[in-house]
Amino acid sequence: MTPIRHQLRRLGRGARTALLGACALATTLALAQSNDGCGPLENNFGPYDYRDYKDAPAKNRDSGESSPLFLVESAHFLDTCEAMVYCAAGTPGREFDYTLRAFPNHHRALVAMMRLAARTKTEKAVDARYTVSCYFNRAMRWRPDDIVVRLIYVVYLNDNGRTELARQQVREAQKLNPENPYSLYNLGMVALDVNEVDIAVESARKAYAAGMAQPMLKQRLVAIKRWTDADEQASQPGAAASAPGAPASAPPAATAASAPAPAASR
């Protein structure tokens, strides 16, 4: 099971990657876009960048003020509500929607909304304001550089049979040039899920060169004969070939279109 899928199983808790910031112009344009049917991003509370607060203290040590994320989660995104067992202030659909309007790129809330919609096998969850695709649209408009959002979206698209769109999102995620080993590893894993093998190899090289210890990505590539001695050498910590632009190994002719090994694809 990929770490990103493990996060999904646990309702997305503990997503570990953040690419910080977005330029002011991009934010202004994103806030202005509302003609796509997914609504404007302006909100009475926020919007805020989830990454700025997810690892921060609930209260400011100097002022004693509660963080915006704590205020939202303590009222609208309790653990029991995230698990769709009990919500204190409304239904899960309304509470997830509130959370995602305040924090459009809230990773766990996006996963929770996905799961809620999956329960009824619909694109729009009960009591949600928008479709699941719209919530991802809003998250990417708000913070286009949030690779975790894009990787979760890849899983959603692929699980719903929209493979080509999923592959497009993998390529967009690659363009963000992640350096964090967890981001690189997760990118490689979801790339394999949609048969973007070259991206998976390149991401694996960089992830392991950056210190990733989790072996599953390498094991999957070995299983489809796409991990060579050259890749192993390039993936050693500090290897010069792990720098951006290092070529990925070419596939053997007989396995150029091989899919990820089924036993390791989930």
Q: What is the C-alpha separation between 68 and 15, in angstroms, rounded?
A: 19
Same domain, 33 and 73: yes
DSSP 3-state percent helix, strand, coil across the chain (nearest 5): 55, 0, 45
Would 255 be classed as within a structural domain? no
Same domain, 179 and 210: yes
- pLDDT, tens digit, 9 for 90 and up, residues 189-218: 999 999 999 999 999 999 999 999 999 999
DSSP letters for 210-262: TT----HHHHHHHHTT---HHHHHHTSTT-GGGSTTPPPPPPPGGGTTPPPPG
Q: What is the number of domains present in the chain?
A: 2
Would 190 be classed as within a structural domain? yes
Q: Report if pTM > 0.85.
A: no
Range(s) of the domain holding residue 43: 24-143
Q: What is the C-alpha separation between 96 and 109, in angstroms, rounded?
A: 6
Would 211 be classed as within a structural domain? yes
CATH of the domain at 192: 1.25.40
**Residues of the chain with pLDDT > 70: what percent?**
76
Please say which residue of 106, 127, 143 terminates a domain.
Answer: 143
Same domain, 139 and 150: no
- pLDDT, tens digit, 9 for 90 and up, residues 87-127: 998 999 999 999 999 999 999 999 999 999 999 899 999 99
